[in-house]
Structure 1
Amino acid sequence: MTTWTADILGDDFEQCTIELGTDPDGEGEIVATLVRHVPPDGRFPAAHSAALYVHGYSDYFFQRHLAEAFAAAGHAFYAIDLRKCGRSQRAGLTPHFVTDLAVYDEELGAAIDIMRAELLAGAGDRIVVSAHSTGGLIVPLWLDRLEQTEGGTSSRGIIGMVLNSPWFDMQGSWWLRSVGTAAIDAVGRVQPLRIAQDAKFDGYGTSLHRERHGQWEFDTEWKPYGGYAARFGWLRAVRRGHLQLHRGLETGVPSLILRSDRTWFSPHYQPEIDTVDCVLDVRQIAKWSGCVGNRVSVVPITGARHDVFLSNEPALSEALRELEIFLEWLASQDARERGAEEPASGTRETSDAPAR
């Protein structure tokens, strides 16, 4: 039985711990943390589906407004802090460190099991997975592996994917993607904990936090302004994930991919950071989006930040509207495929592609 306790985000949120046992990377006992949104009855439409949110690197779930956006679209909202991240950090563990992205299959699968047990008792059994940045690489790789099992993603109730500025390739010079990748592979194999890049670029983090240049409240112990140091073993896992993606995946579900319309890099805060992706190269997102398989809709959001759901207005409202349109279309498509005469509650009839 799942035990839910109070969460740091307050009355509308609860959390449960997912025990994962011994860390395969040798750092001791590890856990993941599942958070659920529990708004008062009547505040949002009755849920007909659910959503699972997966954060990025140097990140954790804190976006209350995103939970409310999914709830307004008829989705029971859950988010997971992966092993060694955010709520799941423990003494003696290296934050966010893994040497194989596939290890996350364990907590993602456990989260889906918990969600489906609750959904079958109430809202149904259909799930949308949403992910940001590194999470946007982890999730399609996971769904690709799941799609190759008996019954595929549909057997777990997963019907769609929303990626927010997914990390699909190594940004920077061609050297990093060729010679640099070979070096990362060699060093990461023998010295996985060696630091490849210090946590010294604080421009993006300070652009977000309300005590610096932004409007958002988050724990800087779990999401430091400069992020966490990137280690060779972790970078090696990421680059191996990139190469898998570039060969082509099949997630088995339609996807919405949101990104900024422009990239502009700066290590420290400048006002231009507020309206661009200053972390990833959006051209790479555009280039590789088709590799996730199935139907893909890619939408550049003018003036969006790296996390499009932490953008300033009007970009934030535009991103949330695109999310709403996709979720409505997805529910309608699912209703058709299940032979329903009418779309699921809270949706409208749409064409075969999301309309804007």
Structure 2
Amino acid sequence: MGRSTTAGIQAEIAKGVFRPHTALTNMALAYYQNASNYFAKAIFPTCPVSLSSDNYYIFSREDLLRDNWQRKPAYGKVSPTVVGEATETYVCHVDQMIMGIDQIRQTDLTRRQGPSVIQPKQQRTRTIAEQANIHQDRLFAEKYFKAGAWKNEKEGVDSTAPSTGQFIKFSNDNSDPIAFVDNEKTEMNQISGRTPNRMALGINVFNSLKVHPAVLERVKYGGSTANPASVTENVLAQLFEVEKVAVMKSIMNKADMGADEDMQYIGDPNAFLLAYATNTPSIDEPSAGYIFTWDMLGNGQMLPILNYLGENGTHTEYIEGLMATDMKKTSDDLARFYKAAV
């Protein structure tokens, strides 16, 4: 007698040896992305704020970078130097995501002695956190990583004689990405007094740079037969002399619920951004952009996740996530966007 007969199956169920319709205990399929794929918080710093909206100061770049020292006249004094200032406003709007748990179904799963992986609160909490990363990357791409987002923008062309506002595409072996970026950094430094220290690369731009002759020529002697030279984000950061290179690898399904899937990279895969940003918010340092983040519940949590019961008779409970951010461009002079780079 065994599982090949009805009586055998019933006996194993009674002993607890065999449990029908139970999910596997050692695996489950969940398409969570690698945390390193997300890019929003890797480029511009997060600035926690205590109010949902308020003003911040902008001091005149022209006044700060002028030589305002004057020769003191005998028995007199020079005129006071005035540094102009203005204010801008951030506004953090609250976004929300809610997921439900069917308590009746959960009772059935519990009585089947289902695997520990079926922990609905933990699973939904992780899903909300994952979705928060996708949401922030989408907001970042819509605000900072698109044509028209910045005052200074250039477009890649196949021609080896680009005109004003153009550059040779990095997918063209006749281009020199390192020399081009060096020149752009020099121009930005001349205007602002800050040298760009961040690069955000679309995935196709990153892939092209990894095989570009000008890049490979500079790294090929750093390898050996056992450990051949490879072009990584860190290697590119050293070649371009920036603190950080972030590759925009995160994806999202851009189709509406019920429609056929439309999986795409969140950031434009053929573009890149060059910018100066601080590692932490500072009143003494400018930054091309900030991610203003408000703890809307007043408890210091920037992504609070709460659990509450549904209405009587529904036998449900809910997991809720909240976030309130404002992706704010704070200096047009400290960033440049390059579209159609490949």
Instruction: Specify the structure having the higher radius of gyration (Cα).
Output: 2
* TM-score of the aligned structures, taking structure 2 as reference length: 0.26
More helix by share: 1
Higher relative contact order (CA 8 A, sep 6+): 2
* TM-score of the aligned structures, taking structure 1 as reference length: 0.25
